Each structure stands twice: as C-alpha cells, then as structure tokens.
Structure 1
Amino acid sequence: MWQAPIFAAFCLPTSLRSFGFAFLDSVLTCSDTMRLQHLPLAALVASTAAVNLYVSSYTYGEITSLKLSKSANGSYTLTTVATNNGSSPSPTWLEKDKYKDIVYGLDEGFTSPNGSLSSYKTSSSGVLTQIDRHLTLGGPVSSIVYNGGKGLAVAHYGGSALSSWAILETGGVKLLQTFPFTLTAPGTNPARQEAPHLHEALVDPTDSFIISPDLGADLLRVFTIDPKTSVLTPSTDFSTPPGSGPRHGAFLVTPSNTTYFFLVSELGNSVTSYRVTYGDKTLGFEEVFTSGIYGNQTIPDGAAAAEAVLSPDSKYLLTSSRNATLFQIPNFNPNNSTKIPSDTLQSWVIDHKTGKLTFHQLAPAGGSFPRQFSVNKAGTLAAVGLQESARVVIVERDVKDGTFGKFVAEIDVPGEVTSVIWDE
C-alpha cells in the first residue's frame, strides 16, 4: 500500500528546552489506494493526510469541529469545518467512544440548575449529528465509557455527584443511577472545599471499577461495575492529603502486570504515584512518589495543576498547569512581534519497576490556561485547549525522548476552550 511521505521539521530556542519532531499517521482504505495509483505524481506530492478534532468551549456554547491536515512538504494546517451550538450552553467536556463512532458532550449548566449530556454521531467530514440530549444533575465536567462500551459514568463538580448511564444501540443514553455526596464540614481550603466536587470519571484497566477524584472532599471515590447491568456500587474510598484537591489521573499497567495510578491534585499543585492493589471489590492505593507539579522548581503563586495524560507508549506522564505564565513565546502571527504569555506543560519519565516519576521537561503550552489536552494515537502530536486564550494549538512530541517540541498549528476558537479530543 502506498503511504504518504513522512517529513519532520524542527527548531526552537534552547531556552524553551523543547526539541521535538513527529509525523501524522495516514490510514488509507483499499479504495483510496487504487485511486491514488491512478493519480499523476504531482497530485501525490500535493496530497495531504488529515484528521478531525472536536473542541468544546464556554461562552458561545459551541462544539467546534477542526481538521488538521499535513501536506507533503511537512507543513500543517488547522481549519474549522463545522460548529454545533445551541443545545449545550456551557460545553465542558467531550468523550469519544472507542467502541462506536459517537462523541458524548457535557454541558456544565452555568445558566440553569441542571447540566446536560448529549450524544453525537461522528463523520469523516467532521460534522457532528446530535442523537439525543438529556438533562443531568448540575455541573457535569467529565465522563468515561466503561463496561465494554455499555455504560457511561459522569462526574458532577457543581452537583457534588456521580451519575451512571446505559449506552443504547443508537449511541444515545439512558440514566441508570445518581450518587449525590455531602460534607459534614468544609475542608482545609473552605473557599474550594465547601462541598464535594467530583472532577473526573475514570475506569480502571480491568474495566471493573470507576474512580472519581473528589477535589472538595480530598477523596478518590471508588465504585464497582456490574458487568451484566453496568450498575455501579460504591466501594471503599481512598483519602488523599488534606487540602490537596485531587483533580485528574491516569492508570498504567506495566509489562510485569503491576498497576499504578498517577494523580494530579489542583489545590496542592502536586503529582503523586500510587501502586494499585486489587481486593474483593476494593482497590488499594499505596503512595510511592509525590512531587510538586513543576518538579524541582518553585511552584508559582496562583498556579493550578490541571491535566494528567499517559503517553501512548506508557513511558511518560504528561501534565499541565494553569495561571502561571513562565514562558514568553513568539507570536503565532509572523507580522506581530508581541510575545505571547504561556502557561506550561510538563513531561515525566515513568519508572515501571517502582512507579516513581522523574521530572523531564517544562514546556510552553501555547497560551493561557491549558485546562485540558490530548495526544494522538501515535503519541507524536498533542492538541492543547487554552481556555483563556480561546485557542487550540498542536505541538509536536518526540516519541523517543518524550519531550514536547515546536508548535506546528494553531487556531482561534470562540469562547473559553474547555476540551479538545482526537477522532482517529
């Protein structure tokens, strides 16, 4: 099968400590191959590989479809191909169902007592077609598909709850359960821990447990999954340090079959590794490592740790932090000499034997408030959603040394960008 040529272009000031190069994989069908065989050489040289991304943003209530194209000369182009608005006033999270061509979108519901959950059918063009929409408890901010594609768990920050939904054959959903939580007294940080605030929904590697970091209660809330019904049952919760404010996490299973959980805590601005043990319908977490989110550097005032992503090769943990503009990067507009203040991304090397992390790189995120980012399947590109910059940037990753490299594409997206995901 003919494959698009692979090119790499790389250069960046050494002060940024970010050298990277990568490529965008192209997957062609047999019909594509036959068609290409009959194209002249000039047409092949001009051809591009493309992939769709979906972006949610506050303010305008839009879900924007982007197309990232890479030309034969190695340059990237990021363009808007569609918008889907009106049904979700405050989009906060997008989740691609790996079992179906479906995207689930959450609306945090800033303008009403309820949030909402919508299902969308994807397409090769990038256009999303809404399947259904349901009102939910307030403040949904994260979701995860579980039980082999049969269930969807939703974490509600403002609603202090977790909900579960049955995924239907149509790609739509039906409410199964709600689990509301309360506090008997405010936490160590009363301004942020006046109530439970579940910030993410995660499924463990065995697809047997749902885990939800609760920023308000300093807990990892744990639920068992009934494989027959997708019904969740609360299990034993795990306490994190008082005032740490657990936010997002990622699981890793090593080649020796040891499971680790990496947790980013927003209020404590920390990243922690836990060795995970399995009991009778319980999970155990043994701390093996903890560090400030900036490694050996002083945590800037006002910083707010955000995302945790495992690299596809499981060798690196990638994190982000907001509200601390440690970099001044060249303007994306070559005609504008004004520097852009940039918050940060971090890269950590994972020791598979111990679960410990080694701080590897501090890199610019491309703008302000990298609330969420995601990595393509090859691990060669990261799409970063910059909430306060109203921008999405694409940054290269060197899969050999795990560092973020240069910015290869960027585009302004209306509103406050809350998430950006790949459709590969």
Structure 2
Amino acid sequence: MRPSLPLSGLVTSVAAVNLYVSSYAGTITSLQLTQDTNGSYSLSQVAVNEDSAPNPSWLTKDEYNDIIYCVDEGLTVPNGSLASYKTSPSGELTKIDRHTVISGPVSSVVYNGGKGLALAHYSGSSVSSWSILPSGGTKLLQEFTFTLSKPGTDPDRQDAPHPHEALVDPTDSFIVVPDLGADLVRVFSIDHATSKLTESTPFNAVPGSGPRHGTFLVSGDTTYFFLVTELGNTLTSYTVTYGKGTLTFNEVFTSGIFGTKPTPEGAAAAECLLSPDKKFILTSTRNVTVFQIPNFDPTNSTLIPSDTVQSWAIDSCTGHLNFKQNAPAGGFFPRQFSVNKDGTLAAVGLQYDSRVVLIERDVKDGTFGKFVAEIDIPGQITSVIFDD
C-alpha cells in the first residue's frame, strides 16, 4: 500500500469503512479501509460471499434499509439473478433472498423512499421493477421488454435494445434508463402507492451514440441531467422539464469525453457520477491506456498501463461543464467507480486487472490525486461501492 498524508474531510481514526466489490469470479468481497495515525491507508479483505451467482455485475446500497442488492448478469446461463444481503458493521453480508430474473441485469436503483427497486437488463433488453419487502428481500412487480425494428447505427453493438443503467430522478418520481442499443433515454413515472412504473415518452439520443450512464443535479429551480455515451464517447448536459408523467430533455452542452483533446481510437466511456458536493461530474474511460504508472509493488519496476478518469467542473447556472483533468485510473478497464460521502476518496474497480485502487480527491478543485491504497481481487471486477 502507498502512504499518504491525511485528507481533509476524512478524520484519522481506527474506525474502519466498509467497501463491497463484485466480480465475475462469482463473488462479493467485503473490504475494510483503515487509516493509521501517520496518515497511511490500507485495504484488507474481511469476507467473501461465494454464493452470489456466476457473474455479479452491480452492487447497490439501500440507504433506507441497510441492504446490499447484487444483480448477476448470467453470462453463461439463460437468466440472471437478484440477491439481497443484510449488512453488518464487520462488513460480513448475510443473504436474505435470491430471485431468477430476465438475463443481463447490469444496474439497479432504489426508489420510492426505499419501497421499490428497478433493474436495467442489458442482454435481456428489459427493465424490471420490484417491491422491497420489510425483510429487505424483493418481490417482482413488472417486466418491460423492448425490441428494435432494425439494428441501430452500430449494428454490432446496437442489434437490440440494451438498457444499461437505472436511475431515479431527484424528486423520486421517475426512473430514467439510458439504452445503449436503442439510442434512447427511457422514462418511467413512479406510482408512489404501489411502486409500479408507467412507461412514458423516451428521449432520443444522437444516433449511434450509445447512451450508457448518467446523473442528475438540482441547482435552484433548474434540474440538469448529465449523460455519458459509450459509442460516441461524449458527455452531454440537458435541462430537464417536468410534465404530467413525463420528462423533457433539452441539450445545453456537449463535449468529447477527453475535453478539448481528440478521443483516442478504441475508447469506451463508462461511468458518470456527481461529486457529493454537487460541483463536479466524474467520468471514466476504458480501453485507452494513455498513462504508464509506477507499479504498486515497490520491488517491481515494470510500469502499469492505465486507462483514465476525468473531472469536470459544473457551471450550475448554465449546465455547462469545464474539463478539469484527465488522470490515471490505476489500471485497465475502469468499468465502474464510486466516491465516499466526503468526496475525498474514489474507489475504482479495474475490471481486467482484477484490482481495486483508492485515489485521493481534492474536494476544492475536484481533481484526482495520488493512489493511497490498492488490493487485488480475483476475477473481473464489475463494481465497488462504499458503505460509509
């Protein structure tokens, strides 16, 4: 592990912070992050759930009920699955239930004040909704399956609808789903009495852009939506207008994922997060190892090829973004990453390097800094989240 000075906003303490990591090895790994009195961090493995199904692809922490939801993509079997786990201070997870679901779930989100859970199914071309039970388990409510009349602009990737993320809007009244295959942002209104969803008019993204992930921001009386596209490698901001059971998106800004610099060939933009202080958008890009970073093993002089994470400052008055930084992600294929509640640390899952790294963040200027801890996890890492 690499030492670092204490970060502002994270108090030096013997108390541990838990993180959870999903891997295509079929596991959920519980980690604990500690910081010594001298300021150095360490990540240690405290538990492994090996019954989490073949291909765990996404973890969601239910802040209302202290439950972890894990969706399993089911890459080698006909269906995926949804599992619920009770958390504990030690980091150990206790399974509550598991259900077979439509194939290919890659994202989930809690909505309706902790009463509902929505899933985006990539290979299953579907969205499903679930009731959250008092136990923390789930019960199926609805399934929406979509089709295309013909392949999209990129027929290899847009042969069918591919919902890639489920998001809840800031009013907890809508579920929004970027669909990479159909070049749509699908919209569903929420019935607060039942948690059921009603499909509304989708928003048409740029043909061939492949919407992947997004996030919302409320600034005064204005709501913004920020969308990353995987095929187009763009980051776009929209103002959001609320109607009766509908949302309307109006573009106000767009940029290549590398800002003013050309996007390298083969790039595949991935994550899109809002910083906890709501001042920055944080993104990641895979398959373009433009950095060579020192090895995490101090006895090994071999440099590590690294993909990238980006930071963007938000103009909250206009929704425009100012590209701040392109920084090393710590290795290859940062499919997903998350930020702690203070915004001082980013946990990045490097899918093809089987590694989790922690990167310090400057909360004032939004930039990424040094690597402060790392740990290897077997298999292809798909998701890493804080429980702080």
1:269 aligns with 2:233: yes
* CA deviation after TM superposition for structure 1 residue 111, in Å: 1.6
Q: Which secondary structure does the structure 1 equivalent of 2:5 belong to?
A: coil
Aligned to 2:183: 218
Q: How do 1:194-343 and structure 2 match up within 5 A?
A: 194-254=159-219, 256-343=220-307
- Aligned mate of 1:56, from 22, 28, 36: 22
When the two chains are superposed, the root-mean-square deviation of aligned CA atoms in Å is: 1.1
1:362 aligns with 2:326: yes
Aligned residues of 1:24 and 1:70 also touching (Cα < 8 A): no
The superposition leaves residues 304-361 of structure 1 with CA deviations (integer Å, 9 ceiling, x where unpaired) of 0000000000000000000000100011011111100000000000000000001000
- Aligned mate of 1:90, from 21, 38, 55: 55
Cα distance in 1, alignment partners of residues 83 and 234 from structure 2 = 33
- Aligned mate of 1:127, from 92, 106, 110: 92
Cα distance in 1, alignment partners of residues 350 and 52 from structure 2 = 23
Q: Which secondary structure does the structure 1 equivalent of 2:161 belong to?
A: coil
Cα distance in 2, alignment partners of residues 395 and 128 from structure 1 = 25
The superposition leaves residues 351-410 of structure 1 with CA deviations (integer Å, 9 ceiling, x where unpaired) of 000000010000000000000000000000000000001000000000011100000000
Cα distance in 1, alignment partners of residues 380 and 8 from structure 2 = 28
Aligned residues of 1:25 and 1:49 also touching (Cα < 8 A): no
Aligned to 2:108: 143
Cα distance in 1, alignment partners of residues 153 and 358 from structure 2 = 37
Q: Which secondary structure does the structure 2 equivalent of 1:388 belong to?
A: helix
TM-score in terms of structure 2 length:
0.98
Cα distance in 2, alignment partners of residues 164 and 279 from structure 1 = 22
* CA deviation after TM superposition for structure 1 residue 24, in Å: 2.7
Q: Which secondary structure does the structure 2 equivalent of 1:48 belong to?
A: coil
Tell me which structure has the larger Cα radius of gyration: 1
Cα distance in 2, alignment partners of residues 327 and 23 from structure 1 = 29
Q: Which secondary structure does the structure 1 equivalent of 2:89 belong to?
A: coil
* CA deviation after TM superposition for structure 1 residue 48, in Å: 1.6
Cα distance in 1, alignment partners of residues 196 and 51 from structure 2 = 32
* CA deviation after TM superposition for structure 1 residue 101, in Å: 1.1
The superposition leaves residues 22-70 of structure 1 with CA deviations (integer Å, 9 ceiling, x where unpaired) of 45347xxxxxxxxxxxxxxxxxxxx623100000011x20100000000
Cα distance in 2, alignment partners of residues 368 and 385 from structure 1 = 9
Cα distance in 1, alignment partners of residues 173 and 194 from structure 2 = 12
Q: Which secondary structure does the structure 1 equivalent of 2:113 belong to?
A: helix
Q: Which secondary structure does the structure 1 equivalent of 2:177 belong to?
A: strand
Cα distance in 2, alignment partners of residues 116 and 391 from structure 1 = 24
Q: Sequence identity of aligned pairs in percent?
A: 69
Aligned to 1:24: 10
Q: How do 1:157-172 and structure 2 match up within 5 A?
A: 157-172=122-137
- Opposite residue 375 of structure 1, the aligned amino acid is V
Aligned residues of 1:261 and 1:274 also touching (Cα < 8 A): yes
Cα distance in 1, alignment partners of residues 39 and 51 from structure 2 = 37
* CA deviation after TM superposition for structure 1 residue 8, in Å: 6.2
Cα distance in 1, alignment partners of residues 88 and 241 from structure 2 = 40
Aligned residues of 1:103 and 1:119 also touching (Cα < 8 A): yes
Aligned residues of 1:344 and 1:363 also touching (Cα < 8 A): yes
Aligned to 1:69: 34
- Opposite residue 341 of structure 2, the aligned amino acid is K
- Opposite residue 185 of structure 1, the aligned amino acid is K
Q: How do 1:108-119 and structure 2 match up within 5 A?
A: 108-119=73-84
- Opposite residue 235 of structure 2, the aligned amino acid is V
Provide structure 2 residue ranges, at least 5 long, that are not aligned to the other structure. Answer: none
TM-score in terms of structure 1 length:
0.90
Provide structure 1 residue ranges, at least 5 long, that are not aligned to the other structure. Answer: 1-6, 11-20, 27-46
* CA deviation after TM superposition for structure 1 residue 241, in Å: 0.3
Cα distance in 2, alignment partners of residues 245 and 308 from structure 1 = 14
Q: Tell me: CA distance 1:8–1:387, structure 2 relative to 1, closer, same or farther (3 Å).
A: closer
Aligned residues of 2:5 and 2:38 also touching (Cα < 8 A): no
* CA deviation after TM superposition for structure 1 residue 297, in Å: 1.1
Aligned residues of 1:199 and 1:213 also touching (Cα < 8 A): yes
4+ runs deviating over 6 angstroms: none
Aligned to 1:394: 358
Cα distance in 2, alignment partners of residues 87 and 296 from structure 1 = 42
Cα distance in 1, alignment partners of residues 9 and 79 from structure 2 = 42
- Opposite residue 21 of structure 2, the aligned amino acid is V
Cα distance in 1, alignment partners of residues 332 and 81 from structure 2 = 27
- Opposite residue 367 of structure 1, the aligned amino acid is G
Cα distance in 2, alignment partners of residues 258 and 355 from structure 1 = 9
Cα distance in 1, alignment partners of residues 250 and 9 from structure 2 = 38
Aligned residues of 2:4 and 2:41 also touching (Cα < 8 A): no
